[in-house]
Amino acid sequence: MKELIQKYNIPGPRYTSYPTVPFWDENGIAIDSWKKSVVKAFNESNDSEGISLYIHLPFCESLCTFCACHKRITVQHSVEEPYVDTILKEWDLYCDLLIVRPKIREIHLGGGTPTFFSSENLEKLIHGIFKKADKFAEFELSYEGHPNHTNKEQLQTLYNLGSRRNSFGIQDYDPVVQKAIHRIQSFEQVKKVHHLSKEIGYTSISHDLIFGLPFQTESSIRDSIKKTIELKPDRIAYYSYAHVPWIKGVGQRGFDENDLPKDEEKRHLYELGKDLFFENGYVEIGMDHFALPTDSLYESMKNKKLHRNFMGYTSGKTQLMIGLGMSSISDSWYGFAQNEKKVETYAQRVNQGKLPVFRGHLLTETDLIIRKHILDLMCNLETIWNENLDSQTKYEIIERLQEMKDDDLIEVFEEKLVIKEKGRMFVRNICMAFDLRLIDKKPETRIFSMTI
C-alpha cells in the first residue's frame, strides 16, 4: 500500500462539481444565460423535489490557520443586520425570476461562522426567506456551529425554525495542534453544546475532524477520536487537510510545512481513524464521511440516493441549489454561478438590483454526461456505462484506468465500473480518468491539493 500511496498521491480535484472551478469557461457565464438556466431547472423540479438554498455567513471572530473558506474576520457584530438585509434582497432577485413560489427542501447555513449571528438575526433571515417561499414536505434546515460561539438560545431558535441537524467544527483536541491552527476550544465546551443540542431535540449532530494538521501524531488522533466517540455524534466528517497557502495566503502560513504529517504517515492517521470509527459502529459514507446506521446519510447511501455538491454529501438531491451571500456558488445542474468574494462588492451589486455573480460555467452536453459519471463514483463508488457516452470516449477512459485496474483498485465490466474497497482511498484519482478537461491540462500543485 505504501507504493500505491506514493504513486497516486498527486494534485487533483475534490469533485464537489464538474467541471471543477479552475476549468470553468474563462469567459464566464452571461448573466442572462445563468437566469435562463435557473428558470429551466426550477420549472423541471420545483413541484417534484423543491429547491435547496446554501446561505454563506462569512464572519468569524478569529482566523483559523487551517481554513480555506471565504471569510471576514471581525468582532464587530454590527455587521450582522446589514448582511442579512442584503441576503434577503438577493433572494428577492431570484424570486422575481421564478414566477411561482418556490418550495424549499433544504437550507444550509455555512461559513465563516453561522453562529456568529445572534438568534434575532438568524430568525430574521429564515423568516425573511419564507416570506416568498413554502417548505417542501421533507424540509431540512442545517447549519455549522463553532463550539465556542454557539449558545443555548441560538440552538433553540434554529430548532424552532425547523432545524434538526447541526455540525460542529472540532478539528482536533490536542493543545499543541489547536495552538498551531489557532482553534482553541476545550472538550468540555464541545460536550456542552453537543448535549444541549440533544436535550433540545436535534436528531442528527455531526462533528468535523481533520487529519494531516501540523504536529498531529497517532497518539493525538487516538485521543481526539476517543473524545469524539464518547459523545457519539450521528455523523463524523474526517477531512484531509488541504494545504493550499498559495491560494489562501497568510492564513495557511501560520506554521512550517515541515510540521505537517507526510504521505504514508498522513494516510496512516486516516486508516487509524477509520478503524476506530468502524469499531464503534460507524459506516463509511462516500469519501471522508462516516455515519451511524440510524442516520439519514446512511439510509441515503444504502438506497443509492446519496448526493454531493458544494455543501458536501447530502441525504437528498435537488436539481436547483441557489447560493446566497458573498462567494456562494449556485448550481442549476446545467450551470454554475459564483457570487462576488468580497462583502462590499457583493453588497454593492445586490443593492444595485443585480445578481452578484462574478464567474460561472454553462455545462456542455459532454460536461453533463461526465458530471453524472463522476457524481456516481463519488457517491456510489460505481458508475454504469450508457449510450450517452460514445464508444471512443469510453475506450479512452478505460485506457486511462488500466493501471488502476492492474493495481486491483477497480473492476471494469461491460455494463459498469466498480471501485473496490482497496480503491476507495483513490476515488479522486479514479474520477480524474473521466475528467476530459484534465487531458490537455494536467493538475498542478498550485491549483489543487494532493489527492491522498
Q: What is the mean pLDDT of the chain?
A: 91
Whether 253 has a pLDDT exceeding 60, the answer reads: no
> What is the 8-class DSSP label of residue 439?
S
| Stretch among 41-55, 59-73, 290-304 having the lowest mean pLDDT | 59-73
Label residue 443 by pLDDT band (50, 70, 90): low
DSSP string, 306-337: -EEETTEEESS--S-EEEESTT-EEE-SSEEE
Does this model's pTM top 0.75? Answer: yes
Locate all alpha helices (DSSP H) within 141-284, ordered by sequence. 152-160, 175-181, 187-200, 218-231, 245-248, 263-279
Average pLDDT of 334-346? Answer: 97
Q: Among 228, 237, 248, which residue's Cα sits nearest to residue 66? A: 248
Whether 260 has a pLDDT exceeding 90, the answer reads: no
Same CATH topology for 20-362 and 365-438? no
Average pLDDT of 189-218? Answer: 96
CA dihedral 152, 155, 159, 164 (to 10 degrees): -130
Residue 287, pLDDT score: 87
Q: Annotate 274-313 with b (16+ C-beta within 10 A) or e (fewer).
A: bebbeebebbbbbbbbbbbeebbbbebbeeeebbbbbbbb
Distances (CA, A) of 387 to 148, 251, 382, 384: 52, 47, 17, 10
Average pLDDT of 184-194? Answer: 97
Residue 124 three-state SS: helix
Average pLDDT of 214-234? Answer: 96
Residue 326, pLDDT score: 97
Average pLDDT of 95-110? Answer: 95
- Which range among 7-21, 195-209, 391-405 has the greatest average pLDDT? 195-209
Q: Among 183, 182, 181, 308, which residue's Cα sits nearest to residue 237? A: 308
58-90 pLDDT per residue, tens: 998 888 877 778 888 899 999 999 999 999 999
Residue extents of the structural domains in the chain:
20-362, 365-438
The domain made up of 365-438 has a fold known as: Arc Repressor Mutant, subunit A (1.10.10)
Residue 336, pLDDT score: 97
373/371 Cα distance (integer angstroms): 6
Average pLDDT of 267-280? Answer: 93
Q: Among 68, 155, 140, which residue's Cα sits nearest to residue 111? A: 68
14/392 Cα distance (integer angstroms): 26
Q: Is the dihedral of CA 118, 119, 125, 128 positive or negative?
A: negative
Label residue 442 by pLDDT band (50, 70, 90): low
Distances (CA, A) of 272 to 12, 194, 232, 282, 423: 23, 24, 18, 14, 17
- Compute the radius of gyration of the chain from its Cα atoms: 21
Q: How many residues does the chain have?
A: 452
Whether 8 has a pLDDT exceeding 80, the answer reads: no
**CB atoms < 10 A from the CB of 165, how many?**
23
Label residue 252 by pLDDT band (50, 70, 90): very low
- The pLDDT > 90 percentage for the chain reads 74
Whether 247 has a pLDDT exceeding 50, the answer reads: no
Residue 124, pLDDT score: 98
The domain made up of 20-362 has a fold known as: pyruvate-formate lyase- activating enzyme (3.80.30)
Residue 63 burial (C-beta neighbours within 10 Å; 0-12, 13-18, 19+): middle
Whether 249 has a pLDDT exceeding 70, the answer reads: no
Q: Is the dihedral of CA 218, 222, 228, 234 positive or negative?
A: positive
In this predicted model, which residue has the larger pLDDT, 79 or 314? 79
Label residue 40 by pLDDT band (50, 70, 90): very high
388-400 pLDDT per residue, tens: 888 899 999 999 9
Label residue 173 by pLDDT band (50, 70, 90): very high
Q: Among 196, 169, 209, which residue's Cα sits nearest to residue 71? A: 169
6/451 Cα distance (integer angstroms): 11
> What is the 8-class DSSP label of residue 183?
-
Q: The sheet that has 204-211: what strands, in order across it?
A: 283-285, 289-291, 235-240, 204-211, 163-171, 134-145, 103-111, 51-57, 321-324, 329-331, 335-339, 357-362
